Structure formats: structure tokens, C-alpha cells
Structure 1
Amino acid sequence: MLDRSTFLRPIAHRGLHDAAKGIVENTAPAFAAAIAKGYGIECDLRPAADGTPLVFHDLELGRLTAGAGLVTELQPGCAAKLPFKAGNVTGILTFADLLTLVVGRVPIFAEIKSEWTEPDLGFLSEVARLAKLYRRPLALMSFDPAVVATVGRLAPDIPRGIVSGSYFDEDGTGWWPGSPLTDARRRALASLLESGQAAPDFYAYEVGALPTAATERVRRQGLPLLTWTVRTDHDRHIAALHADAPIFEGYEA
């Protein structure tokens, strides 16, 4: 269960990053800035080549770092030495690094990335092991209900949530093109119809799609609803009306 009094506060998306100040998303300076303001932290987890959980959003390295190729091809030792393009930062944090940095000062929402294939049991087992050892405010979440169900089995006492949204761009293009997702399944995921086995303790839903019949049902059931990514005054208004906490970036809440 997600303790509302602990977890429901403004949550800094990938940390309190700010390109103008050279503070890069999902890095120690971004997380330190969020902690200093008392914000919750949202971050992303992907496996290194050996399954070690790394704190990184993209599948490919090139947008943020001096590296090339896939983050999932990196060994942890190489990830620790890889420079970012901005912010004078070297090294992708491991999940263990992040937990040591935060040490319970603010809640963490760790989004486990998925390519919509069979869940990586080795990677998820290590995420679950670290989460159980942490024993401080931490929640795990993913777009992929199979991932959420798996971490629920591996770490049943850690709050877990499903991330969702419209699953289609304005031009009708489905999210994750080239993935195994069909349009029918995208619509089912957007309607939160695959929640059963995952048994989520909370949801995080796209702010631009709120409200929906599914999210209103979630709130009537008493489950916390976060919303992402809140950037504008309009987003903030929607979040205040239709969600319990914003996952935000680009301003200070």
C-alpha cells in the first residue's frame, strides 16, 4: 500500500533537472536539488549488460552521454566512467548509488523501463533485492503490467504502480512503434484493463489525457493517482482537479 502522507507530494521528474543550470536529468545533482526542496523523486531504471539496474531513461546513450549504442550493452564499470555531454557529470548512477544518495530523505518512484518483451527476471530480481534492503519510502512502477506483476511477486511489500496514458499521439501513431503492441492492446492499456495480476497500489497517468473513465474509477476506488509530466499552468490545473500528486518538470512546485 502507498502511504499517502509520505508519498503524495510534488515529484520531480527525473530529479529537479535544469538544462540552463547544467543540471542533467537522472543524475546526482538533479536528485540532490530535489532533495533540497523536499520534492519526491521520479527516476528511470534500465539493466546494464549484466543486469545491474542503472538510473537512465533512454535505451540509447547518445542523447545525454558521450557514448553510443544501447545502455543495456554497457558493463557497470563502463557506465560509471561514461561522461555526460552537459553538467560536468561523469558516470551513470546505479540504482544502489541512488538509494545511498537519497537514504530516505524523500520518497522515490522508480519507473522500470520495458521494451514489451518477456520481463528480465535477473534485472527485476536485483531491483527487488535492493528495494527490500532499502526499507525507506520507495515505490516501483512501470508501463508494462507484466513487469509490475513480476516485482509484486519478488517484493510484495514494496508499493507498486502502473504508469499509463493515451497510448496514441495526436496524429494517431501508437506509442512504441515497432514493439509487439497492437492498437487493440494500446487501447486496453490506456483503459487500465491489464491491471488484474499486477494488483497495483497506485497509478500514474498522462496529464494531457486526464480525466478518463478509467482514472475516475481509480479515484473512486480510493487508489492514489499521480500524473505526468506536469509542465504548464494548464497541466497544473488539470493535475489539481484530477490527480493526487504531480510528477513535474520545468518549474519549482
Structure 2
Amino acid sequence: MPVVALPQAFLHIPLAHRALHDRSQRRPENSPAAIRAAVAAGYGIEIDVQLSADGQAMVFHDDDLDRLTAEKGPLHARSAADLGRILLHDSDDGIPTLPQVLALVAGRVPLLIEIKDQDRMSGPVKGVLEAATAKALASYHGPAAVMSFNPHSIIAMAALAPAIPRGLTTCGFDPKEWAPMPEVLCAALREIPDFTRAEASFISHDWTDLDRRRVTDLKAQGTPILCWTIKFPTAEAFARKIADNITFEGYAAPFTA
């Protein structure tokens, strides 16, 4: 099957990292309130999905509940219903499911979904989170794409949701930051070896590493380059020398032509 191209909306509408979050305004990351704010501002949205105990795709970044809620322990140990009742800090929102977020966005802005690596080792996947993500997207109408640090997740998505654009989340894979991932695996992943095998159509790369030869080679081949996570305008100016679009947080990113 031909590689599914990334819709043009992803290349000119800045993507709000974990939605347009601001805890001082009671909009924590990945929350329904942050989703609504991003849509109202016309920004694209980047979100994360994790797996609940009963196989549902939950919109939440961390493996554990501790940082973002008053609860403790792994998210994957709780059912979707239980997670929905757990309030996010500085919010009246519970942890939403992916279908709930899709209903809020309703195709009005581009939505980039990062499938979190369930073992943090970029190894083979069972496909449960990928299947839940594909099921939620099957009836969705609007610009949407999926990505993951784990190439196996994106390979699974190619089979489960072949019409959804797919990409790889990438970086320099510093072994100190990615421990306990073996150094040899870090060295392999930083060269983005699975781009073709995953039938990916884009990457989202760490903005501080955009001048890596592999990234510039992909760009020269016509591959769309997104980047993460821009937190101030001077970083954006640097990133846009290579990246086609940015994922941002903490300031009002300007819209480009």
C-alpha cells in the first residue's frame, strides 16, 4: 500500500504540545479543557495515549498517575471508568479516553496522536493500545495522524489503520537519558532505520537535534519534518530553518502562511 501522506494542515498550523495547557488557567496537559482551548485558538493539537487495564486508549502522557493527579501507581492498573473519575491537578477534568477527545476536536484542527511506548525499550508490541487507537479513529473525520518512538507501534498501525498517516517520534537517543535502553539500541534508533519499513510519511524530531545528517537527508528526500518541543520564540526561529512545523508550549506560537 502507498505511504499515506501527512495532510497539509500539519505543516502550517502550529501544534499545541499536550494541547493548549496552562495549569494557572485550570487547563492541565492533555485535559479536555486544554483541548477545547486549542480548538478555540485554532491550533493543532498533539496528545499522548496510554493503555488502561481494560484495553482503552487513555489521553495521558505519563506511565504513572503520581505527577498529574492525587493518585499513585501505574495508569495501566486502572480501568477507563476509574481513570475518568480521577481528577487532574488544578482541574475539574478526569482523565479522558481517546474517543472523548476525538469528539471534542471533531475534525476542526489537526490532531497528532503519540502512542506511548509501553515498555520504554522500543521492542515488539502486543498491539492492544494500537488496536484501541485504530478503533477510535475508524469513524473519525478530520486531519489526524499517529506517531511513536517505538517503530513496532507504527508498523502495527500500518496494518490496523492503513489509511491513517503514520510517523516516527525521533531524537538523538542519548543513552544517559534513555537508560536502561542499551547503548547499541540507542545508536541504531538515532539513525531512524525503520522509517521505510514502518511506511512512515513524516518524523517529529527533537528540535535541539534537527541538524543531524539523517534528519536533513530525509528532508532533502521530501519528508515532512515536525519537531518537539519549542518553548520560546528564539528556539522556534532556529527550528524552522529545518522543520516544516513545530510542536510548542508555554507561549503563543505564531501562525505561518
Which of the five TM-score ranges fits, normalised by the shorter chain?
over 0.9
Write the deviation string for residues 158-204 of structure 1: whole angstroms up to 9, x where unpaired. 00000000111xxx6141x23xx311211221111222321211100
Q: Distance in 1 between matches of 2:212 and 2:234?
A: 17
Q: Distance in 2 between matches of 1:32 and 1:5?
A: 22
Structure 1 residue 95 corresponds to structure 2 residue 98: yes
Q: Return the letter of the residue paired with 1:239.
A: A
Q: Once the 2 structures are TM-superposed, how far is the Cα of residue 221 of structure 1 from its aligned partner?
A: 1.1
Q: Match for residue 18 of structure 2?
A: 14
Q: Match for residue 74 of structure 1?
A: 78
TM-score (structure 2 length as normaliser)? 0.92
Quick check: 148-157 or 233-242, which moved more?
Answer: 233-242
Write the deviation string for residues 99-136 of structure 1: whole angstroms up to 9, x where unpaired. 01100000100000002343132221121122121132
Let me know the Cα RMSD of the aligned residues. 1.3
Q: Match for residue 130 of structure 2?
A: 124
Q: Which runs of 4+ in 1 moved over 3 A?
A: none
Q: Distance in 2 between matches of 1:98 and 1:22?
A: 17
Structure 1 residue 104 corresponds to structure 2 residue 107: yes
Structure 1 residue 2 corresponds to structure 2 residue 5: yes
Specify every segment of 5 or more residues in structure 2 that has no aligned partner in the other structure, as ranges. none
Q: Once the 2 structures are TM-superposed, how far is the Cα of residue 3 of structure 1 from its aligned partner?
A: 4.1
Q: Once the 2 structures are TM-superposed, how far is the Cα of residue 208 of structure 1 from its aligned partner?
A: 0.9
TM-score (structure 1 length as normaliser)? 0.93
Q: Distance in 2 between matches of 1:13 and 1:226?
A: 12
Q: Return the letter of the residue paired with 1:26.
A: N
Q: Match for residue 160 of structure 1?
A: 166
Quick check: 44-53 or 131-140, which moved more?
Answer: 131-140
Q: Distance in 2 between matches of 1:3 and 1:127?
A: 18
Q: Distance in 2 between matches of 1:74 and 1:234?
A: 41
User: Would you say how many aligned residue pairs link Structure 1 and Structure 2?
Assistant: 246
Q: Return the letter of the residue paired with 1:165.
A: C
Equivalent residues of 2:171, 2:205 under 8 A apart: yes
Equivalent residues of 2:39, 2:108 under 8 A apart: yes
Q: Return the letter of the residue paired with 2:144.
A: L
Equivalent residues of 1:15, 1:30 under 8 A apart: yes
